[in-house]
A = this chain, B = another copy of it.
Amino acid sequence: MDTRKPLPAVSGTSELFQLLRDGRPRTRTELADVLGVARSTIALRVEALMALGLVAPVDDAVSTGGRPSSRFALRTETKVVLGVDIGASHLRVGLTDLGGIRLQDGSRNVRVTDGPEAVLNAVAEVGDELLKRAGRSAADLLAIGVGVPGPVEHTTGRPINPPIMPGWNGFDVPGYLQEHFEVPVLVDNDVNVMSVGERELAWSGVQDLIFVKVATGIGAGIISNGTLLRGADGVAGDIGHIRGPRGEDLPCRCGNHGCLEAVASGPAVALKLQALGRAAKDSLDVVDLVQQGDSEAVQVVRQAGRDVGDVLSACLSMMNPAVIVIGGSMALTGEHFIAGVREVIYSRSMPLATQHLQIVQSASGLDAGMVGAGMLAIQHALSPESIDAMLAAGV
Protein backbone atom coordinates (compact mmCIF):
# COMPACT_ATOMS: atom_id res chain seq x y z
CA MET A 1 0.00 0.00 0.00
CA ASP A 2 1.38 3.38 -0.93
CA THR A 3 1.89 5.51 2.14
CA ARG A 4 3.94 8.17 0.38
CA LYS A 5 0.94 10.32 -0.44
CA PRO A 6 0.53 13.47 1.62
CA LEU A 7 -1.94 13.19 4.47
CA PRO A 8 -5.28 14.65 3.52
CA ALA A 9 -6.03 18.00 5.09
CA VAL A 10 -8.43 17.49 8.00
CA SER A 11 -11.21 19.37 6.25
CA GLY A 12 -14.14 18.76 3.96
CA THR A 13 -15.05 15.11 3.57
CA SER A 14 -12.10 13.94 5.67
CA GLU A 15 -13.74 15.66 8.62
CA LEU A 16 -16.56 13.18 8.29
CA PHE A 17 -14.96 10.84 10.79
CA GLN A 18 -14.64 13.61 13.37
CA LEU A 19 -18.40 13.70 13.41
CA LEU A 20 -19.02 10.01 13.13
CA ARG A 21 -16.51 8.64 15.52
CA ASP A 22 -18.44 9.55 18.65
CA GLY A 23 -20.72 6.72 17.54
CA ARG A 24 -23.83 8.95 17.58
CA PRO A 25 -26.30 8.20 14.78
CA ARG A 26 -26.83 10.95 12.23
CA THR A 27 -28.59 11.50 8.91
CA ARG A 28 -26.81 12.38 5.69
CA THR A 29 -28.39 15.81 5.72
CA GLU A 30 -27.15 16.50 9.24
CA LEU A 31 -23.65 15.55 8.19
CA ALA A 32 -23.76 17.62 5.01
CA ASP A 33 -24.99 20.66 6.95
CA VAL A 34 -22.35 20.45 9.65
CA LEU A 35 -19.48 19.76 7.27
CA GLY A 36 -20.60 22.33 4.71
CA VAL A 37 -20.18 19.91 1.81
CA ALA A 38 -22.67 18.62 -0.72
CA ARG A 39 -25.21 16.04 0.50
CA SER A 40 -24.40 13.98 -2.59
CA THR A 41 -20.73 13.85 -1.57
CA ILE A 42 -21.69 12.67 1.90
CA ALA A 43 -24.10 10.08 0.54
CA LEU A 44 -21.36 8.59 -1.62
CA ARG A 45 -18.87 8.51 1.22
CA VAL A 46 -21.36 6.90 3.60
CA GLU A 47 -22.20 4.28 1.02
CA ALA A 48 -18.51 3.39 0.73
CA LEU A 49 -18.16 3.16 4.51
CA MET A 50 -21.23 0.90 4.64
CA ALA A 51 -19.79 -1.38 1.96
CA LEU A 52 -16.70 -1.74 4.15
CA GLY A 53 -18.80 -2.53 7.20
CA LEU A 54 -17.46 0.56 8.98
CA VAL A 55 -20.84 2.27 9.06
CA ALA A 56 -24.21 0.67 9.79
CA PRO A 57 -27.83 1.87 9.76
CA VAL A 58 -29.32 2.58 13.16
CA ASP A 59 -32.91 1.77 14.05
CA ASP A 60 -34.90 4.91 14.62
CA ALA A 61 -36.84 5.01 17.88
CA VAL A 62 -39.90 6.33 16.08
CA SER A 63 -41.32 4.12 13.34
CA THR A 64 -40.56 5.40 9.87
CA GLY A 65 -43.42 3.46 8.34
CA GLY A 66 -41.36 0.74 6.73
CA ARG A 67 -38.80 3.04 5.11
CA PRO A 68 -35.19 2.09 5.77
CA SER A 69 -33.55 4.01 8.59
CA SER A 70 -32.06 7.29 7.45
CA ARG A 71 -29.67 7.45 10.36
CA PHE A 72 -26.42 5.58 10.62
CA ALA A 73 -23.39 5.46 12.85
CA LEU A 74 -19.74 4.54 12.62
CA ARG A 75 -19.07 1.05 13.99
CA THR A 76 -16.08 2.37 15.82
CA GLU A 77 -15.30 -1.00 17.42
CA THR A 78 -14.78 -2.89 14.15
CA LYS A 79 -11.24 -1.81 13.45
CA VAL A 80 -8.22 -0.57 15.39
CA VAL A 81 -5.12 1.58 14.99
CA LEU A 82 -1.79 1.91 16.82
CA GLY A 83 -0.44 5.23 18.09
CA VAL A 84 3.30 5.22 18.77
CA ASP A 85 5.20 7.88 20.70
CA ILE A 86 8.95 7.43 20.35
CA GLY A 87 10.80 9.47 22.98
CA ALA A 88 14.49 9.91 23.71
CA SER A 89 14.70 7.01 26.16
CA HIS A 90 11.43 5.10 25.95
CA LEU A 91 8.48 4.49 23.69
CA ARG A 92 4.77 4.26 24.34
CA VAL A 93 2.19 2.52 22.19
CA GLY A 94 -1.59 2.77 22.41
CA LEU A 95 -4.14 0.53 20.70
CA THR A 96 -7.41 2.36 20.06
CA ASP A 97 -10.58 1.73 18.13
CA LEU A 98 -11.81 4.12 15.42
CA GLY A 99 -13.66 6.14 18.05
CA GLY A 100 -10.34 6.88 19.73
CA ILE A 101 -11.25 4.69 22.71
CA ARG A 102 -8.07 3.19 24.11
CA LEU A 103 -8.20 -0.59 24.31
CA GLN A 104 -4.66 -1.28 25.49
CA ASP A 105 -1.38 0.51 25.94
CA GLY A 106 2.18 -0.43 26.70
CA SER A 107 5.69 0.98 26.85
CA ARG A 108 9.27 -0.14 26.49
CA ASN A 109 12.54 1.41 27.65
CA VAL A 110 14.49 1.78 24.42
CA ARG A 111 16.83 4.63 23.59
CA VAL A 112 16.23 6.37 20.31
CA THR A 113 20.04 6.41 19.98
CA ASP A 114 19.96 2.59 19.70
CA GLY A 115 18.94 3.22 16.10
CA PRO A 116 15.83 2.66 14.02
CA GLU A 117 15.87 -1.16 13.76
CA ALA A 118 16.11 -1.71 17.53
CA VAL A 119 13.45 0.88 18.27
CA LEU A 120 11.03 -0.20 15.53
CA ASN A 121 11.47 -3.88 16.42
CA ALA A 122 10.37 -2.95 19.93
CA VAL A 123 7.38 -1.06 18.47
CA ALA A 124 6.38 -4.18 16.52
CA GLU A 125 6.72 -6.37 19.62
CA VAL A 126 4.63 -4.07 21.78
CA GLY A 127 2.08 -3.71 18.98
CA ASP A 128 1.70 -7.50 18.66
CA GLU A 129 1.34 -7.79 22.41
CA LEU A 130 -1.39 -5.12 22.57
CA LEU A 131 -3.35 -6.71 19.73
CA LYS A 132 -3.13 -10.07 21.49
CA ARG A 133 -4.18 -8.64 24.85
CA ALA A 134 -7.17 -6.94 23.21
CA GLY A 135 -8.13 -10.13 21.43
CA ARG A 136 -7.68 -8.56 18.00
CA SER A 137 -5.83 -9.81 14.95
CA ALA A 138 -3.47 -7.99 12.62
CA ALA A 139 -6.35 -8.01 10.09
CA ASP A 140 -8.25 -5.60 12.35
CA LEU A 141 -5.42 -3.07 12.18
CA LEU A 142 -6.05 -0.22 9.73
CA ALA A 143 -3.10 2.13 10.21
CA ILE A 144 -0.21 3.15 12.48
CA GLY A 145 0.74 6.67 13.54
CA VAL A 146 4.24 7.39 14.81
CA GLY A 147 5.72 10.47 16.49
CA VAL A 148 9.51 10.84 16.59
CA PRO A 149 11.69 13.43 18.37
CA GLY A 150 13.03 15.13 15.26
CA PRO A 151 12.10 16.62 11.88
CA VAL A 152 10.39 14.29 9.40
CA GLU A 153 9.89 14.54 5.67
CA HIS A 154 6.16 14.34 5.74
CA THR A 155 5.55 12.79 2.35
CA THR A 156 7.91 9.84 2.94
CA GLY A 157 7.88 9.47 6.73
CA ARG A 158 11.68 9.64 6.82
CA PRO A 159 13.49 11.65 9.53
CA ILE A 160 15.64 14.47 8.11
CA ASN A 161 18.90 15.23 9.95
CA PRO A 162 17.32 14.66 13.37
CA PRO A 163 19.86 16.00 15.89
CA ILE A 164 19.18 13.52 18.71
CA MET A 165 18.46 10.45 16.53
CA PRO A 166 21.79 9.12 15.19
CA GLY A 167 21.28 6.51 12.49
CA TRP A 168 17.73 7.63 11.66
CA ASN A 169 18.55 10.21 8.96
CA GLY A 170 16.59 9.24 5.85
CA PHE A 171 15.53 5.90 7.37
CA ASP A 172 12.36 4.49 5.80
CA VAL A 173 10.29 4.21 8.98
CA PRO A 174 7.03 3.28 7.17
CA GLY A 175 8.77 0.69 4.98
CA TYR A 176 10.47 -0.97 7.95
CA LEU A 177 7.28 -1.17 10.04
CA GLN A 178 5.35 -2.40 7.00
CA GLU A 179 7.56 -5.49 6.86
CA HIS A 180 5.76 -6.43 10.06
CA PHE A 181 2.35 -4.72 9.80
CA GLU A 182 0.97 -4.37 6.26
CA VAL A 183 -0.89 -1.10 6.83
CA PRO A 184 -0.25 2.59 6.10
CA VAL A 185 2.24 4.16 8.51
CA LEU A 186 2.10 7.91 9.15
CA VAL A 187 5.18 9.51 10.71
CA ASP A 188 5.49 13.04 12.07
CA ASN A 189 7.59 14.93 14.58
CA ASP A 190 6.65 14.67 18.24
CA VAL A 191 5.41 18.23 18.68
CA ASN A 192 3.05 18.01 15.69
CA VAL A 193 1.72 14.73 17.02
CA MET A 194 1.33 16.15 20.54
CA SER A 195 -0.63 19.13 19.21
CA VAL A 196 -3.07 16.75 17.54
CA GLY A 197 -3.32 14.71 20.77
CA GLU A 198 -3.84 17.76 22.95
CA ARG A 199 -6.61 19.01 20.69
CA GLU A 200 -8.20 15.57 20.71
CA LEU A 201 -8.08 15.24 24.49
CA ALA A 202 -8.93 18.77 25.58
CA TRP A 203 -9.93 21.09 22.71
CA SER A 204 -11.88 19.04 20.21
CA GLY A 205 -14.04 21.93 18.99
CA VAL A 206 -11.14 24.35 18.53
CA GLN A 207 -9.99 25.08 14.97
CA ASP A 208 -6.94 27.25 15.70
CA LEU A 209 -4.50 26.05 18.35
CA ILE A 210 -0.77 26.34 18.99
CA PHE A 211 0.82 23.65 21.17
CA VAL A 212 4.23 24.66 22.52
CA LYS A 213 6.59 22.09 23.98
CA VAL A 214 9.22 23.59 26.27
CA ALA A 215 11.64 20.92 27.43
CA THR A 216 15.17 20.09 26.26
CA GLY A 217 14.21 21.85 23.06
CA ILE A 218 11.42 24.27 22.21
CA GLY A 219 9.00 23.63 19.36
CA ALA A 220 5.40 24.21 18.38
CA GLY A 221 2.66 22.30 16.60
CA ILE A 222 0.23 24.57 14.78
CA ILE A 223 -3.35 23.67 14.01
CA SER A 224 -4.98 26.29 11.82
CA ASN A 225 -8.52 26.04 10.52
CA GLY A 226 -8.55 22.50 11.88
CA THR A 227 -5.50 21.42 9.91
CA LEU A 228 -2.00 20.65 11.15
CA LEU A 229 0.35 23.02 9.35
CA ARG A 230 3.58 21.59 8.00
CA GLY A 231 4.96 24.26 5.69
CA ALA A 232 6.87 23.93 2.44
CA ASP A 233 9.68 21.77 3.89
CA GLY A 234 7.74 20.22 6.78
CA VAL A 235 9.43 22.35 9.43
CA ALA A 236 6.63 24.77 10.34
CA GLY A 237 6.47 25.40 14.11
CA ASP A 238 10.23 25.35 14.62
CA ILE A 239 10.08 28.32 16.99
CA GLY A 240 13.03 27.32 19.23
CA HIS A 241 15.47 29.13 16.96
CA ILE A 242 13.62 32.40 16.71
CA ARG A 243 15.77 35.01 18.44
CA GLY A 244 14.92 35.59 22.10
CA PRO A 245 13.79 39.07 23.06
CA ARG A 246 16.44 40.46 25.39
CA GLY A 247 19.56 40.39 23.28
CA GLU A 248 21.07 37.57 25.36
CA ASP A 249 23.76 36.31 23.05
CA LEU A 250 24.05 32.75 24.39
CA PRO A 251 25.30 30.11 21.95
CA CYS A 252 22.66 27.67 20.69
CA ARG A 253 23.21 24.06 19.65
CA CYS A 254 21.97 25.07 16.18
CA GLY A 255 25.15 27.09 15.62
CA ASN A 256 23.49 30.49 15.95
CA HIS A 257 23.38 32.77 19.02
CA GLY A 258 20.51 34.09 21.12
CA CYS A 259 17.88 31.58 19.99
CA LEU A 260 14.86 31.18 22.25
CA GLU A 261 16.01 27.63 23.00
CA ALA A 262 19.38 28.94 24.23
CA VAL A 263 17.74 31.31 26.71
CA ALA A 264 14.51 29.62 27.84
CA SER A 265 14.64 25.82 27.39
CA GLY A 266 15.00 23.45 30.36
CA PRO A 267 18.79 23.12 29.98
CA ALA A 268 19.16 26.91 29.53
CA VAL A 269 17.25 27.55 32.75
CA ALA A 270 19.27 24.84 34.54
CA LEU A 271 22.50 26.56 33.43
CA LYS A 272 21.30 29.87 34.83
CA LEU A 273 20.46 28.21 38.14
CA GLN A 274 23.88 26.55 38.23
CA ALA A 275 25.42 30.01 37.90
CA LEU A 276 23.38 30.94 40.98
CA GLY A 277 24.90 27.98 42.85
CA ARG A 278 22.03 25.52 42.49
CA ALA A 279 22.53 21.85 41.67
CA ALA A 280 20.33 21.87 38.57
CA LYS A 281 21.35 19.49 35.80
CA ASP A 282 18.17 19.47 33.70
CA SER A 283 14.50 20.47 33.41
CA LEU A 284 13.41 18.04 36.12
CA ASP A 285 15.86 19.54 38.63
CA VAL A 286 14.45 22.95 37.74
CA VAL A 287 10.92 21.68 38.37
CA ASP A 288 12.06 20.28 41.75
CA LEU A 289 13.60 23.58 42.83
CA VAL A 290 10.47 25.50 41.88
CA GLN A 291 8.24 23.04 43.69
CA GLN A 292 10.46 23.43 46.77
CA GLY A 293 9.72 27.16 46.59
CA ASP A 294 13.28 28.31 45.74
CA SER A 295 12.60 31.98 45.00
CA GLU A 296 15.49 32.46 42.61
CA ALA A 297 14.42 29.39 40.66
CA VAL A 298 10.91 30.83 40.51
CA GLN A 299 12.29 34.11 39.17
CA VAL A 300 14.43 32.45 36.52
CA VAL A 301 11.55 30.24 35.42
CA ARG A 302 9.19 33.20 35.23
CA GLN A 303 11.71 35.09 33.09
CA ALA A 304 11.98 32.06 30.80
CA GLY A 305 8.19 32.18 30.54
CA ARG A 306 8.39 35.86 29.56
CA ASP A 307 10.99 35.09 26.90
CA VAL A 308 8.82 32.33 25.46
CA GLY A 309 5.82 34.68 25.69
CA ASP A 310 7.65 37.30 23.68
CA VAL A 311 8.25 34.92 20.79
CA LEU A 312 4.70 33.60 21.12
CA SER A 313 3.30 37.13 20.88
CA ALA A 314 4.79 37.27 17.38
CA CYS A 315 3.34 33.83 16.59
CA LEU A 316 0.00 35.06 17.87
CA SER A 317 0.04 38.08 15.54
CA MET A 318 0.82 35.74 12.65
CA MET A 319 -1.66 32.96 13.35
CA ASN A 320 -4.39 34.38 15.59
CA PRO A 321 -5.02 31.12 17.48
CA ALA A 322 -7.94 30.63 19.90
CA VAL A 323 -5.79 28.60 22.30
CA ILE A 324 -2.10 28.43 23.16
CA VAL A 325 -1.19 25.29 25.12
CA ILE A 326 2.11 25.08 26.99
CA GLY A 327 3.43 21.56 27.41
CA GLY A 328 6.74 19.79 27.98
CA SER A 329 8.66 19.43 31.22
CA MET A 330 8.94 23.19 31.87
CA ALA A 331 5.14 23.37 32.01
CA LEU A 332 5.39 21.16 35.10
CA THR A 333 6.72 24.18 37.04
CA GLY A 334 3.05 25.09 37.30
CA GLU A 335 1.77 28.63 37.12
CA HIS A 336 5.17 30.36 37.36
CA PHE A 337 6.26 29.65 33.81
CA ILE A 338 2.85 30.23 32.27
CA ALA A 339 2.39 33.45 34.25
CA GLY A 340 5.49 34.82 32.51
CA VAL A 341 4.10 33.74 29.15
CA ARG A 342 0.75 35.45 29.82
CA GLU A 343 2.38 38.62 31.19
CA VAL A 344 4.23 39.33 27.95
CA ILE A 345 1.57 38.14 25.53
CA TYR A 346 -1.12 40.36 27.03
CA SER A 347 1.17 43.39 27.17
CA ARG A 348 2.53 42.94 23.63
CA SER A 349 -0.46 41.84 21.54
CA MET A 350 -3.30 43.61 19.78
CA PRO A 351 -6.63 43.43 21.63
CA LEU A 352 -8.43 41.90 18.65
CA ALA A 353 -6.07 38.92 18.68
CA THR A 354 -6.31 38.29 22.42
CA GLN A 355 -9.96 39.00 23.15
CA HIS A 356 -10.92 35.33 23.09
CA LEU A 357 -7.45 33.83 23.54
CA GLN A 358 -6.84 31.18 26.18
CA ILE A 359 -3.28 30.44 27.35
CA VAL A 360 -3.23 27.19 29.30
CA GLN A 361 -1.07 24.40 30.57
CA SER A 362 -1.21 21.10 28.69
CA ALA A 363 -4.00 18.90 30.01
CA SER A 364 -2.94 15.73 28.26
CA GLY A 365 0.38 15.22 30.03
CA LEU A 366 2.37 12.21 28.89
CA ASP A 367 -0.48 10.89 26.74
CA ALA A 368 -0.50 13.65 24.12
CA GLY A 369 2.05 12.04 21.80
CA MET A 370 0.56 8.57 21.86
CA VAL A 371 -3.00 9.86 21.46
CA GLY A 372 -2.02 12.25 18.67
CA ALA A 373 -0.20 9.50 16.77
CA GLY A 374 -3.33 7.35 17.06
CA MET A 375 -5.41 10.25 15.73
CA LEU A 376 -3.15 10.62 12.68
CA ALA A 377 -3.73 6.93 12.04
CA ILE A 378 -7.52 7.19 12.46
CA GLN A 379 -7.68 10.29 10.25
CA HIS A 380 -5.80 8.46 7.56
CA ALA A 381 -7.80 5.24 7.94
CA LEU A 382 -11.09 7.09 7.44
CA SER A 383 -9.85 9.44 4.70
CA PRO A 384 -11.39 9.21 1.22
CA GLU A 385 -8.06 7.91 -0.18
CA SER A 386 -7.85 5.13 2.35
CA ILE A 387 -11.49 4.12 1.92
CA ASP A 388 -11.03 3.99 -1.85
CA ALA A 389 -7.94 1.83 -1.38
CA MET A 390 -9.84 -0.53 0.92
CA LEU A 391 -12.73 -0.78 -1.52
CA ALA A 392 -10.32 -1.51 -4.37
CA ALA A 393 -8.54 -4.17 -2.30
CA GLY A 394 -11.87 -5.72 -1.27
CA VAL A 395 -10.98 -5.49 2.42
Q: State the A residues within 8 Å of B (CB).
A: 5-6, 8-9, 11-14, 36-41, 44-45, 48, 151, 160-161, 207-208, 220, 222, 224-225, 227, 229-239, 241-243, 245, 247, 254, 256, 310-311, 313-315, 317-322, 348-350, 352-353, 355-357, 384-385, 387-388
Contact = CB atoms under 8 A, between A and B. Distances in A.
Contacts of A353: 231, 233, 235, 238
Contact of A318 (B39, B44, B318, B384): B318
A384 B350 contact: no
A138 B310 CA distance: 51
Most B C-beta atoms less than 10 A away, residue of A8, A233, A388:
A233
B355 A233 contact: yes
B356 A242 contact: no
Contact of A320 (B37, B39, B231): B231
A350 B254 contact: yes
A124 B346 CA distance: 42
Given A9-B12, A235-B320, A242-B314, 19 more contacts: A12-B14, A38-B44, A38-B48, A39-B388, A44-B44, A207-B232, A208-B232, A222-B318, A224-B224, A224-B229, A224-B236, A225-B229, A230-B320, A231-B320, A231-B353, A232-B321, A238-B317, A241-B349, A242-B317
A256 B318 contact: no
Contact of A350 (B238, B311, B385): B238
Contact of A256 (B5, B254, B348): B348
A388 to B, nearest CB: 5
Contacts of A256: 348
Nearest to A240: B317
B320 A232 contact: yes
A314 B349 CA distance: 15
Contact of A319 (B160, B231, B247, B355): B231
A11 B311 CA distance: 30
Contacts of A39: 388
Nearest to A315: B318
A350 B241 contact: yes
Contacts of A224: 224, 229, 231, 236
Contacts of A230: 225, 320
Contacts of A388: 38-40
A142 to B, nearest CB: 17
Nearest to A236: B320
Given A229-B225, A235-B320, A310 B243 contact: yes
A318 B38 contact: no
Nearest to A40: B44
Contacts of A5: 36
A312 to B, nearest CB: 10
A292 to B, nearest CB: 35
Contacts of A322: 232
Contacts of A48: 38, 40
Given A235-B352, A254-B350, A348-B243, A38 B317 contact: no
A232 B206 CA distance: 9
